[in-house]
Amino acid sequence: MFWQILMLSVLAISSGFAFRWGGADERFAAVGLLIAVTISNIVTDGSYRHTETDILIVDVSLFFGLLVLALRSDRFWPLWAAAFQLVGTMVHFASISQNNDSAWAYFAALVLWTFPVFIALMVGTWLEGRGRRNWETGAR
């Protein structure tokens, strides 16, 4: 429960940043993250005793969305977000090869690699907002 509250809090903060100070790329990523987390919370059984195939599908979809964003964007942060999401997605494939009961390790790895995606969005939003303010004021 603690991790879910923490994740939802960081998601709310990063998405709030993106919607308030970000550009189109940041808002696109925030919407993707909000959708992915919402669907993941709906489809998970919460045991993590086996590969969560429904969450795997959500994570792969989010990865491809971030990858498309990274390839189309003129910003650098989406590449980092896509890379972090790819590592998190690989955790599912690693769990497929495990025969033992490694629920805690599987859950911890999924959670661990979610936060860098949120952080990349926040840093990207800060850089976008800073760049926009400098452009508007004529500062360098």
Phi then psi for residue 130, to 5 deg, are -65, -45
Domains in the chain, number: 1
- Put simply, whether the predicted model's pTM sits higher than 0.85 gets the answer yes
**Is residue 132 in a domain?**
yes
Query: Ramachandran region of residue 73, left (φ > 0), alpha (ψ -120 to 50) or beta?
Result: beta
| pLDDT tens, per residue, the chain with 140 residues | 788 899 999 999 999 999 999 999 999 999 999 999 999 989 988 777 788 889 999 999 999 999 999 999 999 999 999 999 999 999 988 888 776 666 778 888 888 899 999 999 999 999 887 765 555 565 55
Asked if residue 2 belongs to a domain, the reply is no
Residue 9: inside a domain: no
The answer to whether residue 73 sits within a structural domain is: yes
8 in a structural domain: no
Write out the residue range of the structural domain in which residue 109 sits. 16-41+51-137
Rg (CA), the chain: 16
